Each structure stands twice: as structure tokens, then as C-alpha cells.
A = this chain, B = another copy of it.
Amino acid sequence: MPNQNRPAAEMPDSASAQDTAQAERFNQARAAQAVAVLEDYAEMIGDLIEELGEARVTDIAARMGVAHPTATKAVARLKREGLCTSRPYRGVFLTPAGAELAERVRARHRTVVDLLIAIGVPPETAELDAEGLEHHVSDTTLAAFDAFLAKQPPR
């Protein structure tokens, strides 16, 4: 195909501006998904450290609902991203960057759950859905959620 090889990032000139914008949305959603899992693991490690003083791979795996090698792999990715540290046969600890991420994720999670409940979603369902939703809430939207909640009559 005379389809010139162009860098993946580039949009075909043939694509309309509208197509490009929509494609960009999908790409953004995919990018969000790429960090979602790491965020969950970081948050979980933060929770475990707070509760138990340390995060063990087995505990992480149990709470995430995965096999322990999966948790080990996730920890390796987190280490590669500079979000946590670990030594063989010892616990996992968050770096400052990791702790900051975990706190941010946790706050966002709370906001999302609260907003869903404020909208009228049953608390149990809110908790369930928030797990998937939270990773796709942009800063702008999160701010709007907070503003909405602030205006709400306290229940």
C-alpha cells in the first residue's frame, strides 16, 4: 500500500478534523487505561502500609484479587516508574512520588463515590462502579464534582 509509513503519533492528512478530534478522545481514554492498574496497585500498597505497617506481595495479591506473580509484576512496573521500592523477600514501600499518587487516587476515589451517592446511586453500587470510573475522571471533572458536592445540602 502506498500508505506512507508515518510515525504512529501522526494523524493521516486524509482524516477530517472531526475524525482527528474523535480519535484523540479514544487515544486519551486508552492512555488513561494504561495507568489505571498502576494507580490501583499504588493505592492498595498505601492502604496496606497504613493498616499493617508494610505491604506484602501476598496481601496485595489477595486484595487485588490476582495471583501473587501478577502482583509481583505490578510491583516491578511500579518500581520501574519510580513509584515504589522493594528488596527480595521483604515488603514493598512507596517512594514519595508513589505515596503522593496513592493519596491523590484515594481522594479521587472518595470524591467519585460521594458524587455517585449524591446523584442517587445506591452506596453499594457507587463503590462498585467507582472502581472502574475513577481512572477516567479528569482533573477538570474532578473539580466539578467537588464543586457540586460542596453545593449539596449535607445529608
* Interface 1/0 per residue, A35-68 and B, CB below 8 Å: 0000010000000000000000000001111110
The answer to whether A12 touches B125, judged by C-beta atoms less than 8 angstroms apart, is no
The answer to whether B128 touches A144, judged by C-beta atoms less than 8 angstroms apart, is no
Q: Using known A-B contacts A14-B62, A65-B24, A67-B9, determine if residue A121 contacts B141 with beta carbons closer than 8 Å.
A: yes
Tally of this chain's copies: 2
State the main secondary structure of chain A at its contact with B: helix
Chain A: residues with Cβ within 8 Å of the partner, total of: 48
Question: CA A8 – CA B70 in complex, angstroms?
Answer: 12
List A79-118 residues whose CB lies under 8 Å from chain B. 115-116
User: Contact residues of A with B, CB < 8 Å?
Assistant: 8-9, 11-12, 14-15, 19, 22-29, 32-33, 40, 62-67, 115-116, 119-122, 125-129, 131-133, 135-138, 140-141, 144-145, 147-148
